[in-house]
Amino acid sequence: MVGDFKDLRIMPAGRDKLPDIRRPSMPGLDSLILHFDRALRSVAGVHRAQRASPAAGVAEGALDAEARADAAALMRVNHVGEVCAQALYEGQALTARNPENRQALGKAALEEQDHLVWSAERIHELGGRASLLNPFWYAGAFALGAVAGALGDRWNLAFLAETERQVEAHLSGHLERLSPEDRKTRAVVGAMREDEARHRESAIALGAAKLPEPVKLGMRAMAKLMTTVAYRV
């Protein structure tokens, strides 16, 4: 992400921006409508990026059909990860107790929204498609985020930090796998990796606890299942 969580300004609610989630969630039907609306936007891909894509202005490389198909599938995996990120931050912010942490999660969600848009754009350019299971991915990630937030802010931040660490490693693997000629995809993945590293560092700075090793292993197993399925479906 750009900047530090502590240098935070939450955007006003609007069509393409998440509402200010510093306040406790509104009760009743209004709250359900807002959460459902944000879920639909993430799954349907109607967000707009706040930053220009790192691939803008980068020349398309000479890729054969196999390289293009592989890159499109990898970006589909990354797009699923960003759908999950929106859901995770939404769930975590819903149950986070510290207002500063709610602000941090809101900032993260807005910047992860850029990744969501960049990934979708690159999938389209490569002739691929988004995952058919995005509603399922969103629902599962939202539930995980809500549980993490309910455990308390230190554990909420710990879950965020470990998630970002694993995503950073995952993106590094993609950079090793992508063709050197695929400069556009590499530009997007590289920028996303830099943002995720800053997410992790900021969560730690805000007081994240250290997750037990079995929890980390469980998270890695879930991520492996998701990436394997999303690559194909």
| pTM exceeds cut of 0.85 | no
Q: Is residue 73 part of a domain?
A: yes
* pLDDT of 17 higher than 70: no
Q: Is residue 142 part of a domain?
A: yes
Among 188, 189, 161, 167, residue whose Cα is nearest residue 104: 161
- Position 213 scores a pLDDT of 94
The domain that contains 166 carries what CATH number?
1.20.1260.10
Residue 125 structure tokens: 């350019």
Crossing angle, helix 99-125 and helix 65-95, to 10 degrees? 160
Q: Is residue 26 part of a domain?
A: no
Tally of domains within the chain: 1
Note the pLDDT tens digit of each residue in 162-210: 999 999 999 999 999 999 999 999 999 999 999 999 889 988 988 899 9
- Position 179 scores a pLDDT of 95
Mean pLDDT of 140-168: 87
H helix or E strand, kind and range, residue 30: helix 28-44
Residue 204 structure tokens: 């730690």
Asked whether the beta carbons of 168 and 200 are under 8 A apart, the reply is yes
Residue with structure tokens 């991520």? 223
**Structural domain boundaries enclosing 152:** 67-232
Q: Is residue 206 part of a domain?
A: yes
- Position 214 scores a pLDDT of 93
More reliable by pLDDT, 205 or 73: 73
- DSSP letter (8 states) at residue 62: -
More reliable by pLDDT, 73 or 149: 73
Note the pLDDT tens digit of each residue in 92-118: 777 777 777 777 777 777 788 899 999
Q: Is residue 32 part of a domain?
A: no
